[in-house]
Structure 1
Amino acid sequence: MVSFTEELVDVGGTKVHTLKGGSGEPLLLLHGANGNSGWLKFVDALAEKYTVYYPSHPGYGKSERPDWLETIPDMACFYTWYLETLGLEGVRAIGFSMGGWIASEIAAMCKHSFSKLMLVDAVGIKPNDSEIADLFIISPAQVLDLVYHDPSQAPEYQALYGTEPTPEQTMMAESNREMAVRLCWKPYMYDPRLPSLLRRVKIPTRMVWGKNDKIVPLECGELYNKAINGSDLVVIDNCGHSPQVEKPDEFIKASLDFLA
């Protein structure tokens, strides 16, 4: 395993908990609404080629939240500040689910922030013929049932979910869920302006989608692919909302081939 450190990055007085490890050019990972899953197999594989920065969003995990941060565009603005603080302008970036929405807003907002962009089962665009699952009206256990197409094929499933969470982990999960509601509730999981704004994105962009995603349907990946000029869409068969966990080998290959 690649060694990594935990750092608190001060962004305008807000401390952002960041996992950092690996070597090579920088790569930013932006997690989804459930929070930072930690240094898993896919992160380790990416860190063999790149210096990975994997922050917990403001209001998530051990990161602080500034009072003004209320929306996904706010979060995107904050991350441009984060990148400037670290001197990381023009980095490669991968955004997962809600993190993909954040990343797409950054790319549309500031063309100098990223050099390459991957969006993985990203929310942010409203589908026309299907629906994004409403995760805020069901229990965490029901959400978990929707995330994976076949949990038995996810090598780290038991490590992630096989034991009863501690009281501290439960409190953190509830806090993360509260922050997700704050950011994504109205309108639910999309920005009506985003398809138009994405026309500004000129960097190489790849969407990676689980074909059997029960949370963010494949239609959303197709709409992102349509909105971003010159992008491509990689669909992973027999896979749900988190290909980086459920099908890590296929995800890692799709990532490294594109990021090189």
Structure 2
Amino acid sequence: MELLQKNRCFDGEQRIYRFNSQTLKGDSRFAVYLSPQALEGEACPALFYLAGLTCTEETFAIKAHAQGMAAQLGLILIMPDTSPRGDYVAQGDHWDIGQGAGFYINATQAPWAEHYQMESFIVDELYELVLQQFPVQQNRVGIFGHSMGGHGALTLAFKYPDKFKSVSAFAPICAPTQCPWGEKAFSTYLGNDQALWAQHDAVALVGEKGALFNEILIDQGLDDQFYSQLNPALFQQVCVQVGQTLTLREHAGYDHGYYFIQSFMDDHLQFHAVQLES
């Protein structure tokens, strides 16, 4: 693991690392924010943040304005890239497929399957690397994300509740099997097996697995230009059906971007701090 960059930030450090991923079969980068407490060696809770389409490991670190509150709460923030990268990695012909658009699933179809194993990368390889390299409290790890990454956070939390003890999302793709983004990605990466698609659909997973978390927090802008792709009402409906406590906050005037995320970031970090403490 190679340290590429570090910057002092709210008395902690924002870092970028590169390492050779066995899962993705090539170099991968991820960012880490170490709170002042973590820099001093204190074991701290950690949050994985999964970014949306076209983003990199730097997007959240630069745009979300999360480090100040993370420093106050003593959180470690883990920010992976959104896909495998490199000249040897398959690339799509549009911005919502290929590099920058891994959807946090394990592809089964050629040519994607060779490198696009983002689910295993997050929950196995990167998760273990983070626990080995940083002072993370192993029983206090949460996950959150935005858009495609919100889909990833919700699905991975419900598939791996032994690893993630809290979950929240900004404008997540709640039902990818029922929207153009998800249908395009899943048919490309997974083929036409609808049963396999359902294993990566948050609405389907909650319906199957029931209530697993004390609470889930979702923020959604009502002026979101992609609102028709996101289906928060379907997620709310299935949570009611299975008794999963959900706080869904819809905000007039807010769109899909990082100004929206900045506006409610402190709430999400505080939410996770409480959930991980309980």
State the TM-score, normalizing by the size of structure 2.
0.60
Deviation readout 1:195-244 (Å, 9 max, x if unpaired): 423525235321121122231244245346436712221222211223xx
1:124–1:258: structure 2 CA closer, same or farther, 3 Å change rule?
same
Q: 1:221 to 1:211 in 2, by over 3 A?
A: farther
Q: In the TM superposition, what are the counterparts of 1:36-51 in structure 2 within 5 Å? A: 36=56, 37-39=59-61, 40-48=63-71, 49=73, 50-51=75-76
Q: Taking structure 1 as reference, are residues 251 and 102 closer, same or farther at Cα in structure 2, changes over 3 Å only?
A: same
When residues 80 and 248 of structure 1 are mapped into structure 2, their CA distance, relative to the original with a 3 A threshold, is closer
The answer for the alignment partner of 1:21 in structure 2 is 33
Identity %: 14
Report the residue type matching 2:45 in the other structure. Answer: E
Q: Displacement of 1:38 after TM fit?
A: 4.3
1:61 positional shift: 8.1
Of 52, 76, 98, the match for 2:148: 98
Whether 1:75 aligns to 2:118 is yes
When the two structures are aligned, how many residues end up with a matched partner? 212
Residue type matched to 2:49 in 1? L
User: What's the counterpart of residue 216 of structure 2?
Assistant: 205
Q: Aligned pair in 2 of structure 1 residues 74, 196: CA closer, same or farther (>3 Å)?
A: farther
Matched AA of 1:25:
P
Query: Are residue 8 (structure 1) and residue 18 (structure 2) matched?
Result: yes
Query: How do residues 118-157 of structure 1 correspond to structure 2 at under 5 angstroms?
Result: 118-125=168-175, 132=179, 134=180
The gaps in structure 2 that reach 5 residues or longer are: 1-7, 36-43, 91-101, 109-115, 274-278
Trace 1:240-251 onto structure 2 (pairs within 5 A): 240-242=255-257, 245-251=258-264
Is 1:108 matched with 2:119?
no
More strand, by proportion? 2
Q: Distance in 2 between matches of 1:254 and 1:184?
A: 35
Deviations 1:65-108 (A, max 9, x none): 99x9417x953333210212322654121121111222222222
State the structure with bigger RCO (CA 8 A, min sep 6), 1 or 2: 1
Could you state the TM-score of these two structures normalised by the residue count of structure 1? 0.64
Query: What is the distance in 1 between the residues matched to 2:67 and 2:186?
Result: 26
